């Protein structure tokens, strides 16, 4: 498989789209870490309360986020973190037929792209059972959807993408299914690490990893050792994750600081709490596949002001068109954050 090294500051769209085809068709793992183009315009990864700098998702310039990155978080929700994408309509003229076909759906013109998108990837088991397959086959097919979705998110200018890969409640599933998932997960992490690094996709794992095997913990730790001078997109993989666990561990962290005398109780604010969470970014859009209307203990704190889209599409069938439909629905929402509609339309922040 050809490796894609960082490219010069400007890339042709045709080259960009061809690069995105490299890993299509991979089916041998639960969660394929996709190979992505290195020079997608980076979002500013703005914290809640600030707007990222507007730019076209097709302006394929070098990313500007540096490590270590200072996270200055606002203490109250404000304007949504979206990325203006007025030129997304240019995708309709793309040589990629899947992108070009979106024009007929009216999904591309003037679309604002959510900064932080989180997805509950539900329906792998049902997809397999409806076809007479074992459940693990559904997870393998779900890997294709992961590749398609990460490609599309990066291509459209999403700043942070968080995928719910394995919940803290999923340990209750049959032992053979869980062991199969863990084995597949360890293999793909080892295989894809260098490619993701070369393409400036910063992968983080959120959740309690202490329960995993030494082999899987080692594969995860190798990602933590990577250094990035620039970041094209942040990809959070939630494994053995639960929203209640996240809030609990954040509270425990702050309690230890109080006990040590480095933090006063009255200094515990929403900003401090957010900084102690596994990911500090408020979710703009939460997508759930498979038709279930529940949040399933996912990013409970971060989703306080998120918009939610539920689709009946099972995860293995999810693709770029489904993602664009979710973005179109997001664009129809009026995000008021406690204000009135009149205040929002007038641009008032009070």
Residue 203 to residues 9, 133, 245, Cα–Cα distance (Å): 23, 31, 21
Distance, CA of 145 to CA of 93 (rounded, Å): 24
> So which residues are the catalytic ones?
122, 170
Q: In what side-by-side order are the strands of the sheet with 285-288?
A: 201-206, 233-241, 160-167, 116-120, 285-288, 307-310
What are the CA-CA distances from residue 304 to residues 59, 113, 314, 316 (Å)? 32, 19, 25, 28
DSSP letter at 205 equals E
Which two tokens mark 63? Answer: 């990313």
Within the chain, what is the greatest distance between any pair of CA atoms? 61
In total, the chain counts a number of residues equal to 350
Q: Is the dihedral of CA 178, 179, 181, 186 positive or negative?
A: positive
**What does the DSSP assignment read for 90-133?**
GGGG-S-HHHHGGGGGT-STTEEEESEEEEE---HHHHHHTTT-
Q: What are the Cα distances from residue 222, in Å, to 6, 186, 189, 194?
A: 21, 12, 9, 10
């Amino acid at each position: 498989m050809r490796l894609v090294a960082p490219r010069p500051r400007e890339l042709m769209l045709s080259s960009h789209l061809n690069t995105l085809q490299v890993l299509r068709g991979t089916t041998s793992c639960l969660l394929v870490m996709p190979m992505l183009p290195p020079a997608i315009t980076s979002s500013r990864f703005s914290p809640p309360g600030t707007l990222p700098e507007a730019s076209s998702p097709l302006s394929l310039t070098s990313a500007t986020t540096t490590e270590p990155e200072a996270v200055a978080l606002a203490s109250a929700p404000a304007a949504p973190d979206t990325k203006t994408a007025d030129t997304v309509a240019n995708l309709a003229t793309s040589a990629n037929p899947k992108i070009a076909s979106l024009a007929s759906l009216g999904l591309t013109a003037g679309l604002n792209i959510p900064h932080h998108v989180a997805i509950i990837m539900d329906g792998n088991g049902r997809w397999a059972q409806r076809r007479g397959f074992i459940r693990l086959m559904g997870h393998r097919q779900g890997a294709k959807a992961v590749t398609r979705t990460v490609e599309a998110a990066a291509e459209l200018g999403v700043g942070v993408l968080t995928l719910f890969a394995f919940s803290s409640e999923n340990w209750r599933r049959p032992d053979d299914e869980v062991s199969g998932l863990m084995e597949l997960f360890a293999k793909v992490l080892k295989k894809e690490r260098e490619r993701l690094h070369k393409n400036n996709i910063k992968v983080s794992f959120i959740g309690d990893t202490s329960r995993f095997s030494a082999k899987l913990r080692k594969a995860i730790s190798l990602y933590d050792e990577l250094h990035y001078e620039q970041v094209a997109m942040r990809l959070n993989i939630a494994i053995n994750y639960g929203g209640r666990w996240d809030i609990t561990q954040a509270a425990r962290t702050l309690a230890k600081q109080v006990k040590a005398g480095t933090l006063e109780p009255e200094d515990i604010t929403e900003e401090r709490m957010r900084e102690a969470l596994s990911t500090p970014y408020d979710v703009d859009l939460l997508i759930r596949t498979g038709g279930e209307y529940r949040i399933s203990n996912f990013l409970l704190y971060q989703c306080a002001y998120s918009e939610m889209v539920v689709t009946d599409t099972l995860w293995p069938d999810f693709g770029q068109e489904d993602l664009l439909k979710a973005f179109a629905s997001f664009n129809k929402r009026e995000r008021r954050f406690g204000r009135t509609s009149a205040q929002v339309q007038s641009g008032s922040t009070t």
